[in-house]
Structure 1
């Protein structure tokens, strides 16, 4: 099985409404170490165009980058001269997963089409899109719509509905969300103590450019 490696200094770091919705997932960020990890891709076949720095992977495509995992039937990956990576994943459905920094929590997404942008650090899921957050192995939040855009830096996501996301169970195509209350143990946990609670000590100076000893 062909395997290909793409390296980049950055990575991709998700109640009902008719057309759009914006929610914050929390204050923690996606796994910070992922940005420095290489992108590894496995597939049944690969076509690479050196002129456009574009790779096309076909057949049982699996992408890993740190804690990020993506799977689908076909993946087009373009890398610019700065090392930023732009991917288009097609699947039935395609799959995306990433760990949240410092927590036993994961963000998972599914859609017919997944666009990955390491420069903007966003993932766009289009067509029967779903975005879920797991706390451990238990699902905590679920959001359904036609298109979901997830920013892994701000951990803000938007969900759009419409006719394209209509199903027999949801003929109106409206956005749907399931939000689980935050457990008392998490909500009432004490805030971590600051690294240094002692206030900074300032020394007065009569000269602007005085050298400190």
Structure 2
């Protein structure tokens, strides 16, 4: 089973594409119902219908915390209200209409490492336009955009706990379907 799971992860790697690199240098816009800002520690907490946008990246949750390190890199922590899910969506490099989107009860994004972690009821999808090209669901998902590696575990803390549950991966076909023989083909062509 572990070999099958590892093989499935290796199949995902070629399909993955990193987040749009241009977003990293775009301004961050945070919309909220309530906010608390500590300018000394560069810690921003927003609550109530929070929407964070940065270029093509859109993060939504009931509560968000944005922490800025002295060197300017930020960490985003999104927490959904009970019974709801936090979400993210971002354009991927590699084509005109490639997207990554995900949801979970808690989402953490470390822009220095370009690492997204999804905790509890985690789902991550890669799309071409509206078409899902791959999807993974598990209790915990880690997506390293730089290395293009997805990791799924059956425990929200990121552990692999025997008997705790299962995740799933769905991969869309990548090659074109073979054309069917013409309906009017002669008997000689069939032999």
Match of 1:154 among 147, 155, 160: 147
TM-score (norm 2): 0.77
Question: Is the CA contact (8 Å cut-off) linking 1:141 and 1:180 kept in structure 2?
Answer: yes
Q: Does 1:68 align with 2:60?
A: no
* Structure 1: runs of 5 or more not aligned: 1-14, 166-170, 186-213
Equivalent runs, 1:130-145 vs 2, <5 Å: 130-145=123-138
**1:17 Cα deviation (Å)?**
4.2
In structure 2, the partner of 1:192 is none
Higher relative contact order (Cα pairs below 8 Å, separated by 6+ residues): 1
Distance 1:128 1:100 in 2: 23
Match of 1:89 among 78, 88, 113: 78
Question: Is the CA contact (8 Å cut-off) linking 1:95 and 1:109 kept in structure 2?
Answer: yes
Query: How many residue pairs are counted as aligned between the two chains?
Result: 165
In structure 2, the partner of 1:126 is 119
Question: Is the CA contact (8 Å cut-off) linking 1:16 and 1:174 kept in structure 2?
Answer: no
Equivalent runs, 1:195-210 vs 2, <5 Å: none
In structure 2, the partner of 1:105 is 98
* Structure 2: runs of 5 or more not aligned: 178-191
Distance 1:25 1:149 in 2: 16
Q: Which has the larger radius of gyration?
A: 1
Structure with greater helix share of residues: 2
RMSD value, Cα: 2.6
Aligned partner of residue 24 in structure 1, secondary structure:
helix
TM-score (norm 1): 0.70
